[in-house]
Structure 1
Amino acid sequence: METNHSLCILFMAFFVQFLVFSFVGAKQTNIITDQQALLALKAHITHDPSNLLATNWSTTTSVCNWIGIRCGARHHRVTILDISSFNLTGIIPPQLGNLSFLTILGFQNNSFYGSLPDELAQLRRLKYLDFSYNNFNLQIPLWLASLTKLQFLGLNEIKFSGTIPQSLGNLSSLQQLHLDYNQLSGSIPTSIFNISSLQLLSLYHNQLSGSFPSIFFNMPSLLYIDAGDNGLSGGLPEATFDYLPCLETLALDGNMFSSEIPSTLSKCRGLQSLSLSYNYFTGAIPKEIGQLTQLKEIRIGHSRLQGEIPGELGNCTRLELLTFQNNQLTGSIPKDIGNLIQLTNMHLDDNNLQGAIPKEMVT
């Protein structure tokens, strides 16, 4: 009994020490460690042409008053670090992972280089993260998938290579994903199209290949998608557009699509901009496009379209730009095009069309 009693006392002593240690450890992450993390960042800046950090980030003033810094009123911790467009050059130190209350992290439009430290995975409160327009020149880090509260992720023009990680599909709160102007290759991961909150997906100007995921149609919240200037091929499945009532912009120009243009595009009733130029689309222009009465721009030039221009396009009375040049279209220009009183740019050259522009359009 005495032995058990002694063991119990010993266990309780260790438990109390553990609680004390945990409490002290928790206290170590405070406004002081926030300041230390920011000073570590300042120490890793090699070029600050305007001396913004050199003259402002000083221990003689409160960190909450430093340029680019905001603190929360409740916990008095750094919640915003935004040094966008400061023209800074340097590397990101691992100490930034200690900014545990950070919700906004903006580094875009600078010249940071090197790697993105794994310690940034500790920033679990982040909702906005933008590293765009820097010189990191590496692959998309897998730890980004642990930032499950992210709503905005900006990674465009960083020279990222490799593939888009499937794990980005874990970002269930994400609303905007910017990956344009990189060197990403491989296929578009289907996991991204499971993010039900996603509103904007920009993949423009990469080296992506393969087919366009048919699971795309499971994204009713999607407003904007740009996968132009890649190497995507195959066809656009009819079902792809069945459940996209909110889609406003669809840009797939500069790829290698070779199917007919799906008539189910007409189900995207909110579509305002349609860009499919510089592909190998065949067949006729679907007359159902005339049901997209919110359209302001249609770009389907430099492809292999045949047949006549459908008169139903005259229903798109908000149309401002119409581009069908360099196809194999035949017949005459339908007089219904004269209904397009908002049209300021129309390009129909390099086809086999007959007749003149309807007199209704001549001003």
Structure 2
Amino acid sequence: MEIKFSVCFFLAFLLHLSTLSFINAEATDISTDKQALLALKAGISHDPSNLLAGNWSTRASVCDWIGITCGVRHHRVTALNISYLNLTATLPPQLGNLSFLVILSIRNNSFHGSIPDELAHLRRLRYLQFSFNNFINLKIPSWLGSLTKLQFLGLSEVKFSGTIPRSLGNLSSLERLHLDHNQLSGSIPTSIFNISSLQKLSLYQNQLSGSFPSILSNMTSLIYIDLGDNGLSGGLSATTFDHLPNLESLYLDKNLFNGEIPSSLPKCKGLQYLTLAINYFIGSIPREIGNLTQLKWLYLGYNEFQGMIHTNIYIYIYITNFLSRSYNCLL
């Protein structure tokens, strides 16, 4: 009797689960996407071109709306791109229901207010572009680190403050990280330099402090680093460039770096752009820089270098504005 009861209870439980699954499947279909986008439309206070007001009509299919792309297989919204429309708007929490979204781009608008935590549900997201908006005095949400499929994260000039979350180091597929032109403070998390897929890192013009992050493993994908116009200080370790074999661009200008240029710098054999201007570097310019035969731009002005400029630097490098208006003491 007890066995029969247990079996019946188990079957009832399975039926309950299947019913829930059916309800959930019904609850997240194209109509769910439509409601989420209509909530976004309702939060738009200024649409100068009147594009969304006229085009995002309930009479038309969501997949035919401007800025919307739907997937063929599941017939769900996979891309929302309303960049460069001069919109003034807020982001509704319902956007977190766009569960098949791969691309979300609202670049060059005037979005303001908060960034809903519900966006953490967009686990398929690969491209997130919020640059050039007005999220004033907001911190970068730590839950962004849970969007582990992200390949592109653009948060340039959105007026973020606070620190860079260490959780961004969890973005194991990330290729490009743009956090420039904000008011970010604190140190640069070393976790970012554990992302082996990272190609470009831009933190230009913030209020970051501390030292150049330690890089302990090879980052063969990283070709671009811009840490210019911050308050970074200290010296560059002798091993700083041991793990950046394919680096092409390095911008460290307008900081408080000191000490000598590491002789390991020429290990970045493909380096094309090197800017160390407006710092407190001392000592001589390493002769080995002359081995950087791909170098196109070299800015070293406003430092405290001394000694001779080795002839091989002139012979092997095409130098533009090498020591313009500098405070160096070179011969």
Normalised to the residue count of structure 2, the TM-score between the two structures is: 0.96
1:1-363 superposed matches below 5 A:
2-137=1-136, 138-215=138-215, 218-331=218-331
Cα distance, 1:72 vs structure 2: 1.0
CA distance in 2, matches of 1:45, 1:324: 48
The amino acid of 1:17's aligned partner reads H
Which shows bigger deviation, 203-212 or 304-313?
304-313
- The root-mean-square deviation of aligned C-alpha atoms, in Å, is 1.3
Percent of aligned pairs with the same amino acid: 64
Give yes or no for contact 1:293–1:315 (8 Å, CA) kept in 2: no
The amino acid of 1:231's aligned partner reads G
Give yes or no for contact 1:291–1:315 (8 Å, CA) kept in 2: no
CA distance in 1, matches of 2:216, 2:103: 29
Which shows bigger deviation, 320-329 or 283-292?
320-329
Which shows bigger deviation, 18-27 or 127-136?
18-27
Give yes or no for contact 1:307–1:328 (8 Å, CA) kept in 2: no
**Which protein shows a greater Rg?**
1
CA distance in 2, matches of 1:3, 1:267: 74
Give yes or no for contact 1:296–1:321 (8 Å, CA) kept in 2: no
Give yes or no for contact 1:296–1:319 (8 Å, CA) kept in 2: yes
1:58-105 deviation digits (Å, cap 9, x = unpaired): 011111111001111111111110000110111100111111111110
Give the count of matched residue pairs: 330
CA distance in 1, matches of 2:20, 2:126: 31
- After TM superposition, which residue ranges in structure 1, 4 or more long, deviate above 4 angstroms? none
Unaligned stretches of 5+ in structure 2? none
CA distance in 1, matches of 2:235, 2:247: 19
CA distance in 1, matches of 2:326, 2:281: 12
Give yes or no for contact 2:43–2:91 (8 Å, CA) kept in 1: yes
CA distance in 2, matches of 1:216, 1:225: 16
Change (3 A) 1:330 1:145: closer
Cα distance, 1:327 vs structure 2: 2.5
The amino acid of 1:305's aligned partner reads F
The amino acid of 1:69's aligned partner reads I
The amino acid of 1:92's aligned partner reads L
Cα distance, 1:118 vs structure 2: 0.8
Unaligned stretches of 5+ in structure 1? 332-363
Which shows bigger deviation, 22-31 or 108-117?
22-31
CA distance in 2, matches of 1:53, 1:322: 50
